[in-house]
Amino acid sequence: MKLVMRRASDINSWEEIILVYSSALKQINTKIEVLNDEFQHVHRYNPIEHIKSRVKTSESIVKKLKRHGLESTIENMVKYVNDIAGVRIICSFSSDIHRIADMIADQSDIKVIRVKDFTDTPKPSGYRSYHMVVTVPVYLSDRIVDTKVEIQIRTVAMDFWASLEHKIQYKFEGEAPPHINEELMECAQMVNELDEKMLTLNEEIMRIEEERERDRLREEL
């Protein structure tokens, strides 16, 4: 299946759309990198481990439209598919997730249009992540285009589980045997416990560092 191109101008429209979404990704990536650098400067700590970004392929877009019973047109693609441009932010600790989301939402030229928080209330599969759909203005030569970007924020452990779960479900075309799903749920719980332990450990390390800094300052006085 392909996206429907009814007119010759549709081909130009498709190329321009991909240009716009790619430009939106560049802007979001730059904003996130700047926020991470600023956080490092102020707090001596980098909350972001790494960033992944991609523009959805035409095949993936068609499959998504088909799942929702929509015709595979460029118009429907832009109107109904919110994750054509996607950014995944991988952070160190679960406490970083909402901190990063707030920093992004506070940007004056970013508008948050949807949030789905699966961190405290995971999906039935055990999937945990924070999703937000935002718009960012893309400045073309003759107009400004507010472009949708989906941002996913998750810890390293959450990303590890989600990546493997996706591969397993892909092999079974989304119909994995019940015992496989049960094992995945158990692994998801282990991942959550690991995140909690690592967060507690990090907080203890920070407490020790603060005590040492106070002791150093007292000695200098």
In a domain, 204, yes or no: no
pLDDT for 11: 46
Q: Which residue has the higher pLDDT, 13 or 100?
A: 100
In a domain, 213, yes or no: no
In a domain, 49, yes or no: yes
Phi, psi of 183 (to 5 degrees): -65, -40
Rounded-to-integer distance, Cα 191 and Cα 128, Å: 10
Please state the domain count of the chain: 1
Average pLDDT, integer, range 43-63:
91
Residues linked to residue 87 through DSSP beta bridges, in sequence order: 53, 151
- Pairing state between β 144-155 and 130-139: antiparallel
User: Which band of pLDDT confidence, cut at 50, 70 and 90, is reported for residue 4?
Assistant: low
pLDDT for 3: 56
Query: Does 7 have pLDDT greater than 80?
Result: no
Rounded-to-integer distance, Cα 3 and Cα 154, Å: 32
- CATH code (residue 150): 3.30.460.10
> Residue 27 is part of which domain span?
8-156
Q: Which residues contact 191 (CB under 8 A, 6 or more apart)?
A: 128, 157, 158, 160, 161
In a domain, 56, yes or no: yes
Which residue reads 């990198």 in tokens? Answer: 33
Digit-coded pLDDT (tens) for 66-112: 999 999 888 899 999 999 999 999 999 999 999 999 999 999 999 99
Q: How many CB atoms sit inside 10 A of residue 23's CB?
A: 17
Residue-level length of the chain: 221
User: Which band of pLDDT confidence, cut at 50, 70 and 90, is reported for residue 9?
Assistant: very low
Which residue type occupies 81?
V
In a domain, 104, yes or no: yes
Average pLDDT, integer, range 126-133:
97
Q: Which residues contact 39 (CB under 8 A, 6 or more apart)?
A: 45, 46, 47, 103
Residues linked to residue 133 through DSSP beta bridges, in sequence order: 114, 150
Digit-coded pLDDT (tens) for 143-181: 899 999 999 999 999 999 999 999 998 888 778 899 999
In a domain, 175, yes or no: no
Rounded-to-integer distance, Cα 190 and Cα 206, Å: 24
In a domain, 173, yes or no: no
Residue 196 token pair: 């909690």
- Report yes or no: 101 and 130 within 8 Å, Cβ to Cβ: yes
In a domain, 95, yes or no: yes
